Chains A and B, each alone.
Chain A
Amino acid sequence: MDWELMWDSLPRLLGALPLTLTLVFASLLFGAGVAFATALLRLSGNRVAETLTAGYVFVFRGTPLLVQIFLIYYGLGQFEAVRDSILWPMLREPMWCAILALTLNTGAYTSEILRGAILSVPAGQVEAARACGMSRVLAFRRIVLPMAIRQMLPAYGNEMILMVKASSLASTITMLEITGVSRKIISQTYAVFEIFILAGAIYLLLNFLASRFIKHTEWRLTPYLRARA
């Protein structure tokens, strides 16, 4: 074990941390928006919207993320229409392609988590809210959504950890985030195990923090389940 090399490589790996965090946070943020819209459309009762969103979820959950990233990064540029569009300056960048692929991927998974959580809200609660004179929108905003969010937290925590791990795939389209930098250092030094341990430790730390964050949020949102002092 080459401790000196590990110590010297640490700053380079940590230098890649902001990029990994940007990828994770951007895709989780955009993905939450996509998931919210998708879940609402899937429950909307409109046949066309339901079929379209079900198709989106089916395709993105049924294929590997690597295919999705390559399809967006390499595949879209094949079309003249895409290259001429105003979106091309963004779709040309690996950064935006990675964020787009991760967003669509987590959006599909999260929409199913959210849909399940919305369906788990007891019908009696909605009926009671309606009987109090709340409109459907108000009942959704005040009753259904808060309960659904509380319900989906554990599953969403898993999804956050999956996204931290999925961000490593951005290294396959030239992004130098933590996995990309480790690969580069490994090919320069052949110190496979030292670099693996370092990079793995950074990811484990990130995932540990994510799970603590979810645990804490869950605790905050369930005061009624805490033992009374």
Chain B
Amino acid sequence: MLELLSFGPNGWGGQLLSGLAMTIAVSVSSFTLGILFGSAGAAAKLSHSLILNGIAEVYTTIVRGVPELLVIYLLFFGGSGAIMAVAGIFGYEGYIEIDAFSIGVAAVGLISGAYSTEVIRGAVQAVPVGQIEAARACGMSRWLILRRVLVPQTLRYALPGLGNVWQLTLKDTALISVTALAEIMRVAHVASGSTRQPFLFYSTAAVLYLLLTTVSTAAFERAERRANRGVRRA
């Protein structure tokens, strides 16, 4: 039975490994995209514009309140149509197809971003106002304050929350196997279909995910220790 997991001609080891690489690639891309969305969302929520506040509020409420699978279906079935409609406005009439990877990253990034928004907003608000005032009193420009005072500290405060978002993102990528992108779940699904050993392949998938979550928990712990090395503990 273990021959099925080997890297030989009868084994699925190679495919599982490339599935693992695909899962990592999708997770990292979506997480990065999510941080971009999250920063934009947090900036919008903290701005004094009522319109921006409203847009960010609607974004986080809807995306966090609707099942992830539904968001993925929306982009999977509706993504091409929406892009073609936009392209049609600019006079392009051809057919546009988006690949499963981009759709997956867009969908999971959108979800990840909604959670990151709240994490980043909380972290920005955790930076004491006095520090911003002090920086301004020293004559720093807004941009310089952002770069030297706000962002480094926000990162430190946001790290534990972003660690949670990363774990969520990692597990959400399993859902884009419904779009036939060959990540861990999809490979396990195909392999168990053709070998009639579903238990073997789904438990292998489970082990691979456990490996990823365990390694990333350790990595985030190290990152937190490093980020907090200048902080005195009570």
Contact A62 B214 (CB under 8 A): yes
How near does chain A come to B62, taking the closest CB pair, in angstroms?
7
Question: Restricting to B29-69, which residues have a CB under 8 Å from any CB of A?
Answer: 61-62, 65-69
Contact, CB under 8 Å: A75 / B69: no
Closest to B199 in A: A75
With contacts A74-B192, A183-B73 taken as known, whether A62 is within 8 angstroms of B209 at the C-beta atoms is yes
B210 proximity list for chain A (CB < 8 A): 58-59, 62-63
Tell me, yes or no, whether A199 is within 8 Å of chain B by CB.
yes
Chain A residues in 8 Å Cβ range of B188: 67, 70
Q: Are B202 and A71 in contact (CB under 8 A)?
A: yes
The complex places the Cα of A161 from the Cα of B68 at a distance, in Å, of 12
Instruction: Determine the distance from Cα of A204 to Cα of B213 in the docked complex, in whole angstroms.
Output: 29
Q: Is B178 an interface residue (CB 8 A)?
A: yes
Do A66 and B67 have beta carbons less than 8 Å apart?
no
**A179 close to B (CB within 8 Å):** yes
* A64-B174, A70-B198 known; A192-B77 Cβ under 8 A: yes
- Shortest B233–chain A CB gap in Å is 20
A208 to B64, CA, bound (A): 11
Does any Cβ of A come within 8 Å of B175's Cβ?
yes
Q: Is B124 an interface residue (CB 8 A)?
A: no
B183-201, CB under 8 A of A: which get 1 and which 0? 0010011001000111110
Q: Is the CB of B202 within 8 A of A207?
A: no
Whether B174 pairs with A78 at a CB distance below 8 angstroms is: no
Binds B, one of A138-146, A147-155, A163-171: A163-171
Interface centre among B66, B172, B178, B203 (most CB of A within 10 A): B66
Q: Answer whether residue B182 sits at the interface, using C-beta atoms and an 8 A cutoff.
A: no
Q: Which 6 A-B pairs have the closest CB atoms?
A: A192-B78, A168-B67, A64-B174, A75-B199, A74-B198, A64-B171
- Please list the residues of chain B having a beta carbon within 8 angstroms of any beta carbon in chain A: 61-62, 65-70, 73-74, 77-78, 81, 171-175, 177-178, 185, 188-189, 192, 196-200, 202-203, 205-206, 209-210, 213-214
- Supply 26 A–B pairs (Cβ within 8 Å), ascending by A: A63-B209, A63-B210, A63-B213, A64-B175, A67-B185, A67-B205, A67-B206, A71-B206, A74-B198, A74-B202, A75-B192, A75-B199, A75-B202, A79-B199, A161-B65, A164-B67, A166-B67, A168-B67, A169-B69, A186-B77, A192-B81, A193-B74, A193-B78, A196-B70, A204-B66, A208-B65
Given contacts A64-B171, A168-B70, could you give 8 more A-B pairs where the C-beta distance is less than 8 Å?
Answer: A62-B210, A71-B203, A169-B67, A179-B70, A179-B73, A190-B77, A196-B70, A199-B70
